[in-house]
């Protein structure tokens, strides 16, 4: 019988998730002052956001793994752990070229090693949840085709709303659709953004106060979920007081409490900056 495993990109945040799973992590590199770090391995979220606070003019850069690096990583897992088939979930192909690198690697490795690639069209812990579901289904004996079908349904039933203190990081790294409309006001507004079904980050509102933005996000959640039951989690980038305020808002406005709080990884933080808070939603 073939030995199968799920791989997720490091942006899925599973380094910080304490529940048991067997998902392997394909790590993306981040550069600070020209020094390369490996996301989640030699640079953790708490240390990264501390660096950003102490060096506000620092502009981190990221580097997707090359196809050759992906091939080397998969061959290592094949040789050391005996895996024959790999189901790889990646962050949105609209946000990174990592997905394409894995696709190229899969073609190079075939037919000797079966690498199946799935574009989650999302990022952060939402991406990680796709990987966790694939891991659960593999353990239950599901085929890759059945996993694809389930994950395609999940794509239609999730979103992320978040507020950022400044558009600076998103604009400088070219990750925000329609950012040009905000550039002149980027130091005065607190935008609300959404990771939409297309896999892109889109600005949907402009608010001048971060706390008002968080209240508005609660309203966006209400509109999105309607009467559907749903699961939610918090996404944040290292600001405990902002996180605490958002938890209060979610309890008051939506009756949500004791949600899992997922730290955004350094690679994600390089593109959105510190002082970011949001909520991810999966409709049941």
The yes-or-no verdict on residue 181 having pLDDT over 60 is: no
Q: What is the edge-to-edge ordering of all strands in the sheet holding 61-63?
A: 35-38, 29-32, 61-63
What's residue 222's pLDDT?
96
Based on the domain organization, do 255 and 140 belong to the same domain? no
Tell me: pLDDT of 12 over 50: yes
Identify the domain containing residue 162 by its residue range: 158-283
pLDDT of 232 reads: 97
Give the domain-ending residue among 155, 175, 200: 155
pLDDT value, residue 180? 47
Tell me, yes or no, whether 33 lies in a domain: no
Q: Are residues 179 and 253 both part of a single domain?
A: yes
181 and 151 fall within a common domain: no
Q: What angle do CA 249, 250, 252 make, to 5 degrees?
A: 65
Residue 167 pLDDT greater than 80, yes or no: no
Q: What is the pTM of this model?
A: 0.92
Closest Cα to residue 17, out of 235, 277, 201?
A: 235
Report pLDDT for 171.
67
Q: Considering the domain boundaries, does residue 245 fall inside one?
A: yes
Whether residues 21 and 143 fall in one domain? yes
- CA–CA distances in Å: residue 146 to residues 44, 87, 140: 34, 12, 11
């Amino acid at each position: 019988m073939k030995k199968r495993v799920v791989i997720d990109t490091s942006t899925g945040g599973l380094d910080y998730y304490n529940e048991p799973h067997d998902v392997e992590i394909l790590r993306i590199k981040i550069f600070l002052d020209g020094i390369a770090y490996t996301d989640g391995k030699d640079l953790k979220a708490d240390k990264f956001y501390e660096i950003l606070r102490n060096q506000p003019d620092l502009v981190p850069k990221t580097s997707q793994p090359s196809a050759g690096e992906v091939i080397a990583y998969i061959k290592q897992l094949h040789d050391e752990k005996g895996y024959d088939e790999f189901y790889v979930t990646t962050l949105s192909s609209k946000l990174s070229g990592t997905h394409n690198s894995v696709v190229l690697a899969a073609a190079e490795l075939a037919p000797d090693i079966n690498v199946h690639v799935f574009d989650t069209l999302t990022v952060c812990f939402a991406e990680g949840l796709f990987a966790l579901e694939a891991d659960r289904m593999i353990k239950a004996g599901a085929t890759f085709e059945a996993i694809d079908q389930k994950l395609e349904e999940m794509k239609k039933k999730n979103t992320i709303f978040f507020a950022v203190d400044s558009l600076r990081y998103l604009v400088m790294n070219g990750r925000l659709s329609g950012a040009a409309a905000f550039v002149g006001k980027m130091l005065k507004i607190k935008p609300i953004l959404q990771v939409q079904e297309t896999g892109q980050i889109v600005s949907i509102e402009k608010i001048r106060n971060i706390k008002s933005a968080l209240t508005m996000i609660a309203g966006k959640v209400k509109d999105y979920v309607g009467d559907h039951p749903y699961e939610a989690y918090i996404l944040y980038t290292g600001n405990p007081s902002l996180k605490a305020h958002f938890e209060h808002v979610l309890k008051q406005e939506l009756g949500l409490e004791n949600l899992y709080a997922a730290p955004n990884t350094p690679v994600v933080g390089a593109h959105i900056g510190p002082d970011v808070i949001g909520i991810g939603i999966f409709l049941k």
